[in-house]
Structure 1
Amino acid sequence: MTRFSANLGFLWTDRPLPDAIRAAKTAGFDAVECHWPYDTPASEVKLALAQTGLSMLGLNTVRGDVAAGEMGLSALPGRRDDALSAIVQAVSYADAIGAQAVHVMAGKCDGVEAEATFIENLSAACEIARRSGLTILIEPLNAFDAPGYFLGNTQQASTLIRQIDASNLKLMFDCYHVGRTEVDVAATLQKMLPIIGHIQFAAVPDRGAPDHGDVDFRRIFSLITELGWEHPLGAEYRPAGDTESSLGWMAKLR
């Protein structure tokens, strides 16, 4: 049976993070994940995880100056200190709550210098995370939602992962972003499977619940099971209304 993780960056956003974790448990999710939990004391998140028995699969490094349009720091030339500070913050928080992975956000930039910067910072992130047994994830974002983001497709991510060659550096495979950019989600998933560390999903193209749209998630979830993937899949979609009213897909697609 397919297991699901509630991405609390999009689900139950009207509640404090500990209450969102409890809501995810009540709704039948098998795990949780989040975006930027740093305004919530780690002790409160850890308590909610302990009370529910859910694991926190991952969280993101901070975006930087959101008002200025920043979406990550680790590929930005000249921002190494800021990038490393964000990585240390994320790894420390993840370690404190028993999370499994940290998604290192690259930022909006391009070019040879940006690539060299990202490689340097990812290498450092892998070393820092290794001490806590954490996985570092990188995620390509589609150009419709994140124009100018450094990491734009799975092939680019694959090349970086193989070049850095760290055992704890993996691909965050988001079916939504892949569906918007690379079209054939199933074929790309099979190709990238050896380097995938986490899988997320949402309807294509509207990023809603996965029971509609251009991607047949019944087929995708069956394929993932056939490929031997046993970890919870991240529900990172935007509910059309309140979260509870959007959950009908779970019974249909599980």
Structure 2
Amino acid sequence: MKFSANLGFLWSDLPLPQAIHAAHAAGFDAVECHWPYATPAADTAAALHQTGLKMLGLNTSRGNPGENGLAALPNREPDARAAIDQAIAYARAINTPNIHVMAGFATGPQAHATYLNNLHYACTNASSHGITILVEPLNRHDAPGYFLTTTTQAAQIIQTLAIPNLKLMFDCYHTARTEGDVTHRLRELLPIIGHIQIASVPDRGTPDHGELDHAHLFQTLKSLGYTAPIGAEYKPTKPTDETLDWLKSLRLGSNT
């Protein structure tokens, strides 16, 4: 299996270019991040070039303090589209193939229509640059009130829009906490999945303990022919370099 370090959580104490180098030294195959915008794109691109790693994805801005995305917020279309434009520009500058468009805290038919319109805008503007737009359901425990909450809801939106560069970010942690039955959902949704992320359940720690059997998960992905890097998006409880026994174990061939 290949793994991507999510630098939103891993080595988050380091400037982004240094975190990229740390991920490379630790043996990760790729990186991804949340909000890289405080770092000049040229600096990020330089670190990626020096390490040979690819930045697989980044998020659109959360918005104002207390917000968690803008794309489903009625009457905030200008802000949502500015965030989309910002993300596309940064992704182009560092050759990133995926952008997660964050929905935000909203509910109801107007929010649904707003979200679809903004996703259409994002996909249209990203397609000419070879960029895929991702949507990610967040669990109700960590993000109460978030618009997108289940893989079923996300799949319906993807089916409704029927745009080739709109895919599902399948976060095993969020899916397990909201829906369960993770490996079945993976098998069912694989045709529309653009990226997969992992963490333990329910503490969102290293993927080597908890309710979700990651060894079984990895075997399932191998049996499905999934070869893209899997995003390690867990919250370290100590310095990141001290939390990588799970990765070292997999690299030595155990649990695979």
TM-score between both structures, scaled by the size of structure 1:
0.98
How far apart in 1 are the matches of 2:13 and 2:83? 25
Say yes or no: does 1:77 pair with 2:74. yes
Helix, strand or coil: the match of 2:197?
Answer: strand
The Cα of 1:183 is off from its aligned counterpart by: 1.1
Distance 1:20 1:221 in 2: 26
Tell me the SS of whatever aligns to 1:95.
helix
Unaligned runs of 5+ in 1: none
Aligned AA (1:23): A
Check whether the contact 1:217–1:253 (CA below 8 A) recurs between aligned residues. Answer: no
Paired residue for 1:134, among 109, 117, 131? Answer: 131
What's the offset of the Cα at 1:16?
0.3
Residue 105 of structure 2 aligns to a residue whose secondary structure is: coil
Q: How many residues align?
A: 251
Q: How big is each residue's C-alpha offset from its partner over 1:143-182, in whole Å with a ceiling of 9 and x where there is no partner?
A: 0000000000000000000100100000000000001001
5 Å matches for 1:8-157?
8-66=7-65, 69-157=66-154
Letter paired with 1:247: L
Aligned equivalents of 2:13, 2:103: Cα separation in 1: 28
Match of 1:230 in 2: 227
Letter in 2 for 1:164: L
Which runs of 5 or more residues in structure 2 are unaligned?
252-256
Measure, in 1, the Cα distance between the counterparts of 2:18 and 2:219: 31
- Residue number among 200, 205, 208 corresponding to 1:203 in the alignment: 200
* Separation in structure 2 between the aligned mates of residue 213 and residue 42 of structure 1, nearest angstrom: 37
Question: Aligned equivalents of 1:236 and 1:193: distance in 2?
Answer: 19
User: For the residues of structure 1 that align with 2:232 and 2:77, how far apart are their CA atoms?
Assistant: 32
How far apart are the structure 1 equivalents of 2:59 and 2:23?
19
> Residue 63 of structure 1 aligns to which amino acid in structure 2?
R
Q: How does 1:166-181 map to 2 (within 5 A)?
A: 166-181=163-178
CA distance in 2, matches of 1:14, 1:117: 36
Q: Does 1:248 align with 2:222?
A: no
Contact conserved, 1:186 with 1:220, CA < 8 A, in 2? yes
Give 1:185's match in structure 2, choosing from 158, 182, 185: 182
With the length of structure 2 as denominator, give the TM-score of the two structures: 0.97
The one-letter code of the counterpart of 1:24 is A
CA offset at residue 76 of structure 1?
A: 0.2
Read off the aligned partner of 2:147 and give its amino acid letter. F
Q: Aligned partners of 2:243, 2:88: CA distance in 1, in Å?
A: 32
Alignment correspondent of 1:3: 2
Q: How many angstroms does 1:62 deviate by?
A: 0.3
Distance 1:4 1:92 in 2: 25
Using the TM superposition, give the Cα deviation of residue 252 of structure 1 relative to its aligned residue in structure 2, in angstroms: 2.3
> In the aligned structure 1, how far is the partner of 2:96 from the partner of 2:81?
19
Aligned counterparts of 2:249 and 2:174: Cα–Cα separation in 1: 23
Identity %: 58
**Which whole-Å deviations, capped at 9, do the CAs of 1:109-148 have from their partners, x for residues lacking one?**
0000000000000001000001111000000000000000
Report Cα offsets for 1:78-110 as digits up to 9, x if no partner. Answer: 000000000000010000001110000000000
Q: How far apart are the structure 1 equivalents of 2:179 and 2:239?
A: 30
| Structure 1 stretches of 4+ moved >6 Å | none
